[in-house]
Chain A
């Protein structure tokens, strides 16, 4: 290929063949980040995008910039992007240090949301992260607006990644980027590095991403202050649970995230950070809603959160490269959800209480084996759910927030298509809770034979929906009546899980601990069933003893009866018995004279009959 065939400008350090868009990793993208960019980028600025960014983000930048330039290291990526955006975007192929050497005027806005790990090629010098930042600063004006991403080496997904270090990264690790000792690994270090190169006054967002898509961007202040079950923590955990579908883990990530939140370390353990310098972001939280293209923004408002939901058009949220499978899966999800649930942004409240979710409290009560407390809370949740007359929001305890003595819906926008009964709405909430409690191997006090539909039915009863009357089974496989009672609720809960794209128990790809715990649970079940057989055998032994005792007693009594009968017969045949009988009969004669008269008359009559 000759240089004349290249349709884009090239600076030193370009790569070909190579793609940062269609390889193992894609470009950074997503509606949450797009919303953040829309808020912080000034209008009419000369803008540089550094590194692989999705078309949705490029579109957002181009829409605001007076002149936009994109630097990607892959020549083929550059060519495709140039074709897509035409003359609205100047695309440059090459390395960042190559661009810095090109002597271009400094840019007013620099967007490097993908970070500085994919900005140099295999022919580039081995620049450390600070050196790459120096190169970025070289093309940035001192008062520029800068959006810079950084992957976190201390993220929960990295700490819990069950793959060894040499298997975590793909073909772009021809040099171990993540082993760079000069690389910042905290927001303080990131901000200090920006200060070092004169880009002072940066603030940062904790980015909770699924692959290259930040699902939740939480300002580091809000993330550090968030506690388990509170809105920012919940959005972060949802994003991390979604991430567990693409990163094989050692242990459930939600548990670790909750622990980090308790320690005030949620801002230290996200998948990465987005630093913003030279502009004030409008919101503390930007989050991509699960299962539907919309962006949720949230800001602290006293002890509440002001929230807003903005729908995202399909043009603003194009399917990422290599996402055919995901798209097919999404289509299947929508088909499964169709007819049961729909997304209705209008039901999202404008404020959400700052407290924890009902689920957080229920988990705590179950772990403490505090059934009375659990029963009381379930009762109050049932009363509250019934008071939501006219609402079709599908209740889920992980999105129902404690609000003083009552509760309030969180920002979930999933509503039922049909008017569902109270029983089915509550059963859906409890079925989802069941999956999240049992599937995650959380501690609870209910025996294994009760786990399943019976347990959902029991919780339903605690929240005011009586259990149906049990009926005698007609065969060993006759299902419990609970099965029918909670069937519709389970259907709704399954549809919700499908819509959210995250299994309710987040165990689509079981982490190692869960897999081991599942195996252990199966072994324990066998062990306990053996114990039950032992117990039953012993019970049978007791019963056998009791039967033997009774049998012995029966035999003794039968012998006694036979003996008594023999003696009675012997007595009856004796002369003494005959004499006694005669005497007894004679003694019964009350009037001897009358008796004698009767005898006399009878004798006379017999004589007459004999003599004719």
Chain B
């Protein structure tokens, strides 16, 4: 229903999982959470049409949304988890062959660019990471030569997984496929903010770290408490060496592993029954 549902090809993945056409996924009756956050899964000023259902990854966003007066939630688990089921071999290498760190810079979006000291961050990454570093930039940073070059000049391999698209245009439906494949090759995943990619990385079997300048984003709305609330709620997810048992448990909850459902149920939930 909403074009955000196509971001990162999430609707495409769910359509494939449900046994439907994943090139042109059917619309689903509501909004699909497209990234992890500390609110109800959407940005604070996101608009919803009346009666829209909100399909979150896990129960936390549902609870927070309920407190905002919003109803009609159903948690389903992150589409990334379904992709892992669909693609058990994609990018996979033997465990001992996984190497290096896939490092995610907290990214801006089409409406806000990040501001911060990239040089200082590079120095800290060099000091911290034991192996080769692959640096992932969202296209909003990847397309800024001054940002991309600073990481290339540091000797990092710089990658971007594509665009999430807008208004059903320009979405790279393989965005998460590429991200999953890269994650499965790396031993570690790291970022300067606790973010979706960290959870994805842990789900894909990486060790994880969150450190460095979190940087600022233009127009960032700290309505939900910002970085300090994250530090209070998920201290096990912050630092250069995490307790991975604790981190995995948190990741399962935040990505909604217990909320995953079989294809037939998903079809019913999304009103994707094959009816005209």
Contact = CB atoms under 8 A, between A and B. Distances in A.
Interface of A: 369-372, 375, 445-447, 449-450, 454-455, 457-458, 461, 466-467, 470-476, 478, 480, 482, 524, 527-532, 534-536, 538-539, 542-543, 545-546, 549
Nearest to B260: A372
Given A369-B73, A536-B1, 13 more contacts: A369-B59, A370-B59, A371-B261, A445-B74, A447-B53, A447-B269, A450-B271, A454-B268, A458-B264, A478-B275, A482-B268, A535-B52, A538-B49
B68 interface: no
Contact of A534 (B30, B49, B261, B273): B49
A14 to B, nearest CB: 63
Interface in B149-183: 167-169
A539 B27 contact: yes
A449 B262 contact: no
A546 B50 contact: no
Contacts of A458: 264-265, 268
B274 interface: yes
Contact of B259 (A371, A454, A455, A549): A371
B187 interface: no
Contacts of B264: 457-458, 461, 466-467, 470
B92 to A, nearest CB: 27
Contacts of A370: 59
B273 A461 contact: no
B68 to A, nearest CB: 15
B193 to A, nearest CB: 28
Contacts of B262: 461, 467
A131 to B, nearest CB: 57
Contact of B51 (A528, A545, A549): A528
B273 A447 contact: no
B29 interface: yes
Given A473-B275, A531-B49, A372 B259 contact: yes
Contacts of A534: 49-50
B3 interface: yes
22 contacts: A369-B59, A371-B74, A372-B259, A446-B74, A447-B72, A450-B269, A458-B268, A466-B264, A467-B262, A470-B267, A470-B273, A470-B274, A473-B276, A476-B275, A478-B276, A480-B275, A482-B268, A528-B51, A530-B50, A531-B49, A539-B27, A543-B168
Given A449-B29, A466-B264, A454 B49 contact: no
Nearest to B256: A372
B167 A542 contact: yes
B134 interface: no
B62 interface: yes
Interface in B247-275: 258-259, 261-262, 264-265, 267-269, 271, 273-275
B2 interface: yes
B274 A472 contact: yes
A535 B49 contact: yes
Contacts of A369: 59, 62, 73-75
Nearest to A472: B274
B1 A480 contact: no
A601 B271 CA distance: 82
Given A447-B74, A545-B167, A539 B2 contact: yes
B273 A532 contact: no
A369 B70 CA distance: 14
B50 A549 contact: no
A445 to B, nearest CB: 5
B49 A476 contact: no
A457 B268 contact: yes
Interface residues of B, number: 34
A579 B272 CA distance: 66
Contact of A535 (B1, B72, B275): B1
Nearest to A466: B264
A527 B50 contact: yes
Nearest to B258: A372
A546 B169 CA distance: 7
Contacts of B51: 524, 527-532
Contacts of A482: 268
Contact of B265 (A372, A461, A474, A546): A461
Contact of B73 (A445, A527, A542): A445
A535 B271 contact: no
8 nearest A-B pairs in the assembled complex, by CB-CB distance: A528-B51, A531-B50, A372-B258, A531-B51, A467-B264, A473-B275, A535-B49, A531-B49
A181 B260 CA distance: 60
A528 B1 contact: no
A539 to B, nearest CB: 6
A371 B75 contact: yes
B276 A475 contact: yes
Contacts of B265: 458, 461, 467
Contacts of A546: 167-169
B59 to A, nearest CB: 7
B49 A532 contact: yes
Contacts of A470: 264, 267, 273-274
Given A532-B51, A534-B50, A471 B1 contact: no
Interface in B23-66: 27, 29-30, 49-53, 59, 62
Contacts of A539: 1-3, 27
B52 A531 contact: yes
Nearest to A536: B1
B23 to A, nearest CB: 15
Contact of B276 (A375, A476, A545): A476
Contacts of B53: 447
A472 B273 CA distance: 8
Contacts of A466: 264
Interface in B225-259: 258-259
| Max count, chain B CB within 10 A of own CB: residue among A470, A475, A532, A539 | A470
Contacts of A543: 168
Contacts of A542: 3, 167-168
A354 to B, nearest CB: 30
A107 to B, nearest CB: 63
A39 B162 CA distance: 81
A12 B77 CA distance: 78
B78 to A, nearest CB: 14
Contacts of A371: 74-75, 259, 261
A366 to B, nearest CB: 12
Nearest to A445: B74
Contacts of A549: 169
A473 B271 CA distance: 13
B58 to A, nearest CB: 10
B164 to A, nearest CB: 15
Nearest to A471: B274
A480 B75 contact: no
Contacts of A480: 273, 275
A546 B6 CA distance: 14
| Max count, chain B CB within 10 A of own CB: residue among A372, A471, A478 | A372
